[in-house]
Structure 1
Amino acid sequence: MNVLSITAPIFMLIALGYAAVMWGVVSREHIQGLGRLVVNFALPALIIRALSENALADVFDAHYLLAYGLGSLLTFSAGLFLAWRVQRHRLDYAAISAMGMATANSGFIGYPIAVMVIGPTAGVALALCMLIENMMMIPLGLALAEAGSQQGISIRKTIMTTARRLVRNPIIIAIVSGALISLSGLSIPAPFYKALDMLADASAPVALFVIGGTLYGLKVQGMYRDIGQITLAKLVCHPLLVLACFQIFPIDNTELMAGALLIASAPMLSVYPIFGVRFSMDKLCAAALLAATVTSFITISATIWMIHQSGA
């Protein structure tokens, strides 16, 4: 019941977003607008608040980055090898499939759950996980997919294009801004901090509502093996490999480690189907997102139970 008291409100908000679109109370365009609000303003505000309130040395834990990054990279590599070399799919197909296995929906699902379990430390965990996802996992997956798409685009050009996009990414800008504020030792003026605080507090509920609205209309038809494979790797293999890597690179802050495991236990990125469009994989990506989001109720609940049992 303790676990259910944490997970039930999360999935109730997702269900509310789903029902709102299904009943026509909110349109898909409204959901897209709310999604942009979260990605471009609320989550960056959350990250700036989390980083600016802590000493930089306490935030950028090298072992945390190594453990989460290595666990994600191992999951990606295993998924890529299975789809590309064993199942003989195209490289672009394999790379996008592997991206779904190794990148978590840290902002829309992972953080809202983590903050209910470990409190404010979840903001730091979110910033670190997003750093790994935006600086390593997503660029790696897209570069390999572009290289395998046979569209005549060189890896170098793909990397340069991805780098330019990263420089303009609000999440990356927020991480750099928060780090600079932390290093400077300055405090954010009260009126600005209040606005930042209000935006940050809106991120979790609005993000969950957006996930529900996005899921409406997605159908799981065909491709059951690939959908199951991506879902299983994302919800089971990814958090287990992250946990194993934390045994190699342990950290003293058990709450921070719990945050990493909860985020790794979340389904893949909500924009995963968007990445799949360029490679004619949007239906597979959307179906995998739907399957993983529904199934994650069980796996996230199990993760919370294990964290409570361990006393973290």
Structure 2
Amino acid sequence: MLDILAITTPIFLIIAVGYFAVYRNIVPQTIVRGMGAFVMNFALPCLLIRAMAQRDISEIIEPIYLMAYGGGSLIVFAFGYFYALKIAKKKQPNATLQGTGMSFCNSGFVGYPIALQLLGPAAEVGLALCVMIETLVMMPMALVLGDSGQNEDQSKGRVLSKAFLNLGKSPIIIGIVVGLCISLSGWVIPRPIFTAVDMLASASGPVALFVIGGGLVGLKLKGLRADLAGIVSGKLILHPLAVFTLVWLLPDIDPIMQIACVSFACSPMLSIFPILGQRYGHEGLCAASLMIANSLSFMTISTALWLLDLTQAFGPLP
């Protein structure tokens, strides 16, 4: 367990430093938002380019990983969505947000730094695969369901086309496409360009964690207790269990990638969750869920990695 804490503790210490820096106004929260934009628009895309450009396409596209992570995410999303819609009698935008909060990981800002500490360079491939599922499958689905619940005059096809158009402009997607093209072409990036890409990519982990901590300052714990409990427990417990189960049941892949798949699923929900909530008038619920999930994730992630190490379900941790 001490070995696991040695991996997870530095991650959450940087989050705590970010929180303290903004709370004490050492770094203004507006600056932290700018740092977050830097990570999303430059550092993470460069990380994905670096991960893909240095590998053969056969090393990047892992169908079993995609099936396990994508399948587990879809199952948990469907559970949260239909429970809120049919059992709790919530409106469709609220139900969509509950499914989203349970099934979307903060793969870039929390999942990647933890996987990097645990697995090394393999974490970059795991991140790229998770991002593919989240941006090409999960996000369009969530936007279609949420927007169609608010804009009943628009067809789902029109909403979906807008969602994909917006995603096509995302630097993250552009980074994936550029990395895949370089991998397929066999082109070697000139050393000065690669050095710049590598420097930007290396900044993604610590800066992202600092941003997470700073973003927690000022969030209010508002919302229904049942909704909060459902979203947080669904994300921190149900989602990792669903992904673990599929990784266990599906044909074997590299044990490192099995561990990566589960470790990414253990991270709390995406950091823009309150922004999505604001889109549908539920920013208080989403912000409170994010704050609680980030606070509890130190314990849940450490416990999950300890159990993986104890049971050696996919072999010993590296």
TM-score (norm 2): 0.96
Q: Give 1:62's aligned amino acid.
A: P
Name the aligned partner's letter for residue 291 of structure 2.
L
Where does residue 29 of structure 1 map in the other structure? 30
Check the 8 A contact 1:96/1:142 in 2, yes or no: no
Q: C-alpha separation between the residues in 1 aligned to 2:272 and 2:135?
A: 13
3-state secondary structure, aligned to 2:203: helix
Match of 1:145 in 2: 146
Q: Does 1:129 align with 2:136?
A: no
Q: Pairwise CA RMSD of aligned residues?
A: 1.0
Please state how far the C-alpha of 1:106 moved relative to its aligned partner: 0.1
* Structure 2 alignment gaps of length 5 or more: none
Task: Calculate percent identity across the aligned residue pairs.
Answer: 42
Return the letter of the residue paired with 1:255. I
1:81 aligned to 2:82?
yes
What amino acid is the match of 1:224?
R
Code of the residue aligned with 1:46 in structure 2: it is L
Give the direction of change, closer, same or farther, for the CA distance of 1:25–1:261 in structure 2 (3 Å limit): same
Letter of the 2:148 partner, please give it.
A
- Which residue in the other structure is 1:161 paired with? 162
Offset of 1:216 from its aligned partner? 0.6
2:172 and 2:70 mapped to 1: Cα distance?
17
The alignment status of 1:296 with 2:297, answered yes or no, reads yes
CA contact (8 A) 2:148 2:156 kept: yes
Asked whether the 8 Å contact 2:223–2:284 carries over to 1, the reply is: no
- Report the alpha carbon displacement of residue 194 of structure 1 after superposing the two structures with TM: 0.5
Would you say the 8 A contact 2:68–2:250 is kept in 1? Answer: yes
Tell me the CA shift for residue 4 of structure 1.
1.2
Q: Partners in 2 of 1:233 and 1:292 — Cα distance?
A: 10
Q: Which residue number corresponds to residue 179 of structure 1?
A: 180
Per-residue CA distance 1:9-30 (angstroms, 9 max, x = gap)? 1111001110111111111110
The answer for unaligned runs of 5 or more in structure 1 is none
TM-score by length of 1: 0.98
Q: Does 1:213 align with 2:214?
A: yes
Q: Does the Cα contact within 8 Å between 2:64 and 2:253 map onto a contact in 1?
A: no
* Contact 1:114–1:259 (Cα < 8 Å) also in 2: yes
1:253 aligns to what? 254
Displacement of 1:150: 4.3
Partner of 1:196: 197
Partner amino acid for 2:6?
S
> What SS does structure 2 have at the residue aligned with 1:186?
coil
**Matches for 1:71-110 after TM superposition, within 5 Å:** 71-110=72-111
